[in-house]
Amino acid sequence: MVMKTVLGGILVLLLITARAQALSLANPGCEETCGNVTIPFPFGIGASCSANESFIVTCNNSFGPTVPYIRSINLQVLEISLEGTIRVNSPVITSNCSDRRHSTLEMDFSSTPFSFSDTKNQFTATGCNNLALINGQDIETGGCTSYCNSSWRPSTCYGINCCQTRIPSSLKYINVSLRSISPNYGGESCKRAFMVEQDWFTNLTNPFDVQSMENVPVVLDWTANTTCKNFIRRYDYINQYKTVCSCGGGEEGNPYLHGGCQDVDECANPSTNHCVHPNVCVNLQSGYGCFSPDKGSNKARMAIIGMLLSFL
């Protein structure tokens, strides 16, 4: 009885320790949040906390609440995913709008590990008689035309007062220009253009709400030149592969940190295991087992011993 109590105490302590270690996604000794955004390694607040200069995050509180910026591209961070994406704020550019000064958009990620996600973004333009073009380096890479109908404000974006187009994969440079389709077709009306996260834009009640915004969310892909200490996951983007680190099955945490992947306790939540009463769920390294509660069950004993040894 005493031995069971001791083993149970050790097990609880080890599980608590492992869970505490799994909570931090930042480099050891570094701040994990900036404002309300989690900053996981290889990103880091300051040079000593990031993998390299491209992933340095600065916290800016000059204009109100603290917000994080990626220093290498000077864009505000909204969310970082260890799946290889980052959501940032991107400017909405305007031309001939009475409420906004004429603006331009040039974004160059050539010397960074970032690129526009072609699967999550679309280039979008609003306004009448609008020819919005994406200019790459010495070549036009895309664009769309938005025609006039002053009496109709559609809830979709298919060419009447609003248009969208997909973007090339691995796009690292854009220079957006706005012009009229024809000088005699609709005049020099207010025009806008922006790169935008498509899911966010689709969920707007009214797509023309963007006209009052200065920035919209955009998703960037990123890769880190590092040796994965755990598993590697590959994504196929039109015959192009992106490699990111990933924790193994039954694990969670940050695979970019040494020891950053920790076992998930599937037994702590009934929805993450399929054990049916009277069987007892026993958490195992990278999985779980359903065992009979019979005191003489060698399987249950061996499972508990194996679980304890896996943490040592």
3-state secondary structure of 70: strand
Two tokens, residue 206: 């009214």
Which pair of tokens denotes residue 299? 């399987």
In this structure, the answer to whether residues 179 and 115 fall within a common structural domain is yes
pLDDT tens per residue across span 241-259 = 667 888 877 788 898 988 8
Q: How many domains is the chain partitioned into structurally?
A: 3
Kindly state whether residue 34 falls inside one of the protein's structural domains: no
Tell me, yes or no, whether 230 lies in a domain. Answer: yes
Structural domain of 89: 85-222
Query: Over the stretch 65-103, which tens digit does the pLDDT of each residue have?
Result: 899 999 999 999 999 999 899 999 999 999 888 877 888
Model-level pTM? 0.79
293 to each of 76, 123, 283, 299, how far by Cα in Å? 53, 59, 14, 10
- Give the position of tokens 């072609």: 118
- pLDDT at 236 exceeding the cut of 60: no
Does 184 fall in a domain?
yes
Q: Is residue 33 part of a domain?
A: no
User: Same domain for 273 and 186?
Assistant: no
Domain membership flag for residue 71:
no
Task: Give yes or no for a contact between 129 and 186, defined as CB atoms under 8 angstroms apart.
Answer: yes
